[in-house]
Amino acid sequence: MTDPYSLAGKRVWVAGSRGMVGGALVRRLEREPCTLIRDGRDRVDLTRQADVEAFVAAEKPDAVFVAAAKVGGIHANSHYPADFLYDNLMIEANILHTCARVGVEKLLFLGSSCIYPREAPQPIREDALLTGPLEPTNEWYAIAKIAGIKLCQAYRAQHGCAFISAMPTNLYGPGDNFHPENSHVPAALLRRIHEAKMSGAPEVVVWGTGTPRREFLHVDDLADACVFLMRHYAGADPINVGTGEDLSISAFAETIRDTVGYTGALTYDTRRPDGTPRKVMDVSRLTDLGWTARTSLREGLAGYYAWFLEHIDRVTA
Please state, in angstroms and rounded to a whole number, the distance separating the CA atoms of residues 283 and 279.
Answer: 12
Tell me whether residue 110 is annotated as binding.
Answer: yes
Q: Is 291 one of the annotated binding-site residues?
A: no
18 known member of a binding site: yes
Q: Which of 56, 57, 161 is nearest to 105 (CA)?
A: 161
22 carries a ligand binding annotation: yes
Task: For residue 153, give the nearest of 112, 92, 91, 102 by alpha carbon.
Answer: 92
The verdict on whether residue 13 carries a ligand-binding annotation is no
| 12 assigned to a ligand binding site | no
Nearest to 102 by CA among 91, 90, 94, 110: 94
86 catalytic residue (yes or no): no
Minimal CA–CA distance to 207: which of 249, 262, 259?
Answer: 249
21 labeled part of a ligand binding site = yes
Catalytic residue among 141, 155, 233, 262: 141
Do 10 and 62 meet the contact criterion of CB atoms below 8 Å apart? yes
Task: Identify the CA nearest to 210 among candidates 181, 176, 185.
Answer: 185
DSSP-derived 3-state class of residue 137: helix
Report whether 296 belongs to an annotated binding site: no
Q: Is 17 annotated as a binding residue?
A: yes
121 carries a ligand binding annotation: no
Residue among 186, 161, 175 nearest 223 (CA): 175
Tell how strand 247-248 and strand 213-214 pair up.
antiparallel
Q: Is position 279 annotated in a ligand binding site?
A: no
274 is in an annotated binding site: yes
Stated length of the chain = 317
Instruction: Tell me the pairing of strands 203-207 and 213-214.
Output: unpaired
Q: Known binder of ligand: residue 205?
A: no
Q: Work out the number of other CB atoms within 10 angstroms of the CB of residue 198.
A: 11
Q: Which is it for strands 11-15 and 35-38: parallel, antiparallel or unpaired?
A: parallel
Is 192 a known ligand-binding residue?
A: yes
List residues with catalytic annotation: 141
Q: Which residues are annotated as a binding site for substrate?
A: 192, 207, 214, 274
Q: Which residues are annotated as a binding site for NADP(+)?
A: 16-22, 110-113, 145, 168-171, 184
Q: Which residues are annotated as a binding site?
A: 16-22, 110-113, 145, 168-171, 184, 192, 207, 214, 274
